[in-house]
Amino acid sequence: MIVQKYGGTSLGTAARIRRVSRRIARTVKEGHKVVAVVSAMGHTTDRLIALAESVNPEPPARELDMLVANGETITAPLVAMCLEGMGVPAVSLSGLQAGVRTSAHHSKARIRDIRPDRIFEALEQGKVAVVAGFQGVTEDLEVTTLGRGGSDTTAVALAAALKAESCEIYTDVDGIFTADPRVVKSARKLTHIQYDEMLELAAVGARVMHPRAVEIGELYSVPIHVRSSFHDGVGTMIVAQVPMEERQRVRGIAAEANVAKITVVGVPDRPGVAAAIFEPLAAAGISVDVIVQNIGRSGHTDLTFSVAESDLKSAEKLVKSAAKTVRAKRVLSAGGIAKLSIVGTGMLGAPGVASRMFRALADAGVNIEMISTSEIRITCLVARDQVDKGVRVLHKAFELDQDLA
Ligand code: ADP
Ligand code: ASP
Ligand code: MG
């Protein structure tokens, strides 16, 4: 049994739906049982969100999910009827019908469990199960979505729940590259990448995989093959360990443009203040990213952190009210920022990686506003209009266009 996921660009037109269906048909002919997870066609999700905002600038989260889930609800029957037309028995299933149960966090729901009875039933009847990605339901049958790019997560979670042989993610690039191939022309395709490296890359903006999908893949040891939907060439395997000779200090560069920062000025320097500011954000499901707090001076300090720009309005409201409670002086905020990250397990215990990154950015005139690190990642916040240049200079500085194996 194979789970195949087809992304939006790969399904953008009727011709592309036919091409995807032919590929599914071929996999069936090779003797596999196929579960196909499909995304919304082309830019459908963007269009639905824009439509929602044109009737209400702050659409209620529940209604927004009721709306945007429809993108995938449209693709699944189209693929199923296309397969039927080719003589391949198929049945489309919504998230609900496929048994995808999630938490109640609208637009960022997490899969709690999968009850795949209907999928097994379809497979037993010799049918392809075409599942609408991205969507699920709560215990109360409220419709939820998994966050932008979430069809990847539907696919990997299904592969885990069904104990599928493998999970193939078909997309509009040839695999996972050392940087976004649309930004860096000399980016190289990686034959393998480790779950932990891919997770870091995905979490800091490499759109090609949804971070939760990588996390679930690692947890349930699902080998993930990211490959092109346009040709048969092999792509990139996401695995637990990459072959020894492929280790490189820095594996990839990622950027994320949707970033804003909030500064709380003059925060009293005493226990409980950071908790008081961040708890309301957590309760609202807003994730806070790079956090910088200065050393306290004369009993006060400043606290700066980043959030997704799409969360800025609601975050600002919550932080202003918390700032009042803890008697901070002021709250400042700014959008127009981007995150620039280098990732690689090879940087563990390799001195000089950070300084090389900062030097390369300095020489290119890119100013660093904030820095954060994990064991295998260094992230700099920079002005948004500088970020593509930053990606390119870092790609060069770390010689990622050359095979260092
Ligand atoms: P899909 O619709 O198939 O889910 P996405 O648009 O979500 O496709 O993801 C694929 C895109 O991810 C590519 O078109 C590419 O521009 C972008 N991308 C960003 N970083 C990388 C990377 N390191 N390797 C490959 N693609 C990347
Ligand atoms: N259609 C959804 C989105 O655009 C989910 C996906 O494509 O994975 O974010
Ligand atoms: Mg995607």
Taking only the tens place, the pLDDT of each residue in 22-47 is: 999 999 999 999 999 999 999 999 99
How high does pLDDT run on average in the chain? 95
The amino acid sitting at 318 is L
Q: How far is the CA of 148 from the centre of ligand 2 (A)?
A: 5
Say yes or no to pLDDT of 247 above 70.
Answer: no
Is ligand 2 within 6 A of the CB of residue 148?
yes
Tens of pLDDT along 106-120? 999 999 999 999 999
Q: Residue 246 — very low, low, confident or very high, per pLDDT cuts 50/70/90?
A: low
d(CA 358, CA 365): 10
Q: The whole model's pTM is what?
A: 0.93
Question: End-to-end distance of the chain based on CA atoms, in angstroms?
Answer: 34
Q: Which atom of ligand 1 is nearest to the CA of 6?
A: 3
Q: Whose CA is nearest to atom 4 of ligand 1?
A: 7
d(CA 293, CA 303): 5
Strand ranges of the sheet holding 370-374, from the earlier edge strand across to the other edge: 288-293, 300-308, 252-268, 330-343, 377-383, 370-374
What's residue 341's pLDDT?
Answer: 97
Q: What would the two tokens of residue 141 be? A: 């049958």
Say yes or no to pLDDT of 404 above 60.
Answer: no
Pairing of strands 288-293, 330-343: unpaired
What's residue 338's pLDDT?
Answer: 97
Is ligand 2 within 6 A of the CB of residue 95?
no
Q: How far, rounded to the nearest angstrom, does the alpha carbon of residue 214 sit from its chain's CA centroid? A: 9
Is ligand 2 within 6 A of the CB of residue 135?
no
Is ligand 1 within 6 A of the CB of residue 71?
no
Which letter does DSSP use for residue 366 in this model?
P
Nearest ligand (C-alpha, residue 8) = 1
Question: Crossing angle for the helix pair 44-55 and 61-68, nearest 10 degrees?
Answer: 140
d(CA 53, CA 64): 9
Q: How far is the CA of 229 from the centre of ligand 1 (A)?
A: 12
Question: Crossing angle for the helix pair 312-325 and 273-283, nearest 10 degrees?
Answer: 140
CB–CB of 36/66 below 8 Å? no
CB–CB of 35/3 below 8 Å? yes
